[in-house]
Structure 1
């Protein structure tokens, strides 16, 4: 082998060694992930910024953890409510790793971390629902949103106390249903209870209606009596005033007033063209015939 060939081989080996060293001293961090740098199996640093990073070759290695939000759906679980009704509950949890080093110390893997989350969610949901009756859970007036918020807060605090390195974003109950074995009996009892409540409301409504009608009738009778009394008073005052005016008019010219009254009586007497017998020389007949009385 000539010296030139030996040199080329040495250069090639050197370049290969440099390439191997270079490949083992760099790593790439992608968007949405953590790169945890391990030294002899112990996490020494966490890199969350995307880009090319460096490490000590053959001494340090890396592992990847998700940085994005993840969703875990629990298996349906039977839980007893406050009134001892078994219900089937399933829920989902939105979570993320916010401290990768702490997460590795406590959970090691994503699967183990999910198990810790599942246990915390189950304990909290069981405790919360055991404080509520079933009809309150399914009622339209139940603040399900508030219940979910309380569960989310309690789970987040529990995992924070455990220094799990996990952030709980949201916990939501998807379904609260009765087992098929006793669903119908509970529904029938609920229907009966609702009918009883409806009958009570109707009875109370009828009683209140009767009270209102009686009060309205009494008020109407009082107003009518008061109005009639005022009307009689006004009529009496009017008649008295009319009589006074008549007396005043009669007193000024009695003859004219008598003549006027006689003419006015003709309007009533001669309606429908009656046959009247009277002396021709009577004052009533003389005026009717146009003669002086």
Structure 2
């Protein structure tokens, strides 16, 4: 009886082992590659509980989500033979696990293939661009990044690695310590030259504007003075005409008016005036 129980327990144990060895779970964000005698026989992509032949089929996991690989800083030459230190990052993912398993088999080897393709592409692209354009122009670097991404994606697709390149970006471009200061000095000199040119052009433009304004002011003042003289002359002419016309109508009154005006001028500040008592000027003043 005991032997029978032991056989039953052993059978249950074997059954549990077989069942546990024949089941596996596929999670979100991963592929399960099923191997039979070392060869991939199928790829499980949809999440859930899956089955395999125990002891004959094995399973290993490949990531389905996007991954980021950062390269080590590397010295490269630009078109004008300037050495720069470049490091970049690559965003990628596995889109065809069958091809990936057949060609590279593991994520580590896949990263090696990506690193080689990125290095070759970055080296070629930087060799086509001058140093100043890389470090100074954001638009230029943006164009380089886009071209490198396209170049690397096409290279890996051509080799049928089952890898999709999402983006390749140059993070940093720096100078080697040996020639950093000389390049900085040249950049400072270039910027000072540009600033001096801008200042010279500004001074020249300022002189032109000032000269034009002075010339216009002189012309306006001259015209105003000419107009003023003309108006004064016309006023004096009109005043003389009015005086003459008034004098012609009543000479005695006009003579008296002019005499009274002279009194106003003469007697300002209460001066002492010596006049004969019988002079016409004194008589009018005295009211005789």
TM-score (norm 2): 0.89
Q: Which has the higher mean CA deviation after the structures are superposed, 87-96 or 234-243?
A: 234-243
Give the equivalent residue in structure 2 for 1:110: 107
2:82 is equivalent to residue 64 of structure 1: no
Cα RMSD (Å) of the superposition? Answer: 2.3
- Conserved in 2, the CA contact under 8 Å of 1:38 and 1:45? yes
With over 3 angstroms needed to count, the CA separation of the structure-2 counterparts of 1:83 and 1:146, relative to structure 1, is same
Question: Partner of 2:18: helix, strand, or coil?
Answer: helix
1:220 aligns to 2:217 (yes or no): yes
Residues 96 and 184 of structure 1: CA distance in aligned 2, closer, same or farther (over 3 Å): same
Query: Structure 1's 262 and 75: CA in aligned 2 closer, same or farther, altered over 3 A?
Result: same
Describe how 1:114-263 pairs up with structure 2 within 5 A: 114-139=111-136, 143-263=140-260
CA distance, structure 2, for counterparts of residue 102 and residue 254 of structure 1:
129
- Residue deviations 1:109-141 (CA, integer Å, cap 9, x gap): 111100111112112221222222212222266
* 2:88/2:168 contact within 8 Å kept: yes
CA apart distance, 1:184:
1.8
> Are the structure 2 counterparts of residues 163 and 257 from structure 1 closer, same or farther at C-alpha, using a change threshold of 3 Å?
farther
For the residues of structure 2 that align with 1:242 and 1:38, how far apart are their CA atoms? 124
Query: Quick check: 1:136–1:142 contact (8 Å CA) kept in 2?
Result: no
Aligned to 2:87, what secondary structure does the other structure show?
strand
Contact 2:104 2:161 in 1 (8 A): yes
Match of 1:276 in 2: 273
Q: Compute the TM-score of the two structures, normalised by the length of structure 1.
A: 0.87
The 1-side partners of 2:138 and 2:222 are apart by 50
Distance 1:46 1:244 in 2: 120
Counterparts in 2 of 1:270 and 1:91: CA distance versus 1, 3 Å: same
Q: Which position in structure 2 is the counterpart of 1:52?
A: 49
Q: Does 1:288 align with 2:285?
A: yes
More divergent stretch after superposition (213-222 vs 80-89): 213-222
* 8 Å CA contact retained: 2:23, 2:49: yes
Cα distance in 2 between the residues matched to 1:69 and 1:170: 11
Give the Cα–Cα distance (whole angstroms) in 1 for the partners of residues 237 and 43 of structure 2: 111
Deviating more after overlay: 151-160 vs 89-98:
151-160
Deviations 1:171-217 (A, max 9, x none): 22222111122222222222222222322222222222222222222
User: Match of 2:28, SS?
Assistant: coil
| Distance in 1 (alpha carbons) for counterparts of 2:135 and 2:30 | 40
Secondary structure, in 3 states, of the residue corresponding to 2:92?
strand
Residue pair 1:92, 1:171 contacting (<8 A) in 2 also? yes
When the two structures are aligned, how many residues end up with a matched partner? 288
Pair 1:247–1:46, CA change in 2 (3 A)? farther
Q: Give 1:35 deviation, angstroms.
A: 1.0
Query: 1:63 Cα shift?
Result: 1.1
Gaps of 5+ in 1: none
Q: Deviations over 1:142-193 (max 9, x none)?
A: 5544433443333233323333222223322222111122222222222222
Unaligned 5+ runs, structure 2 = none
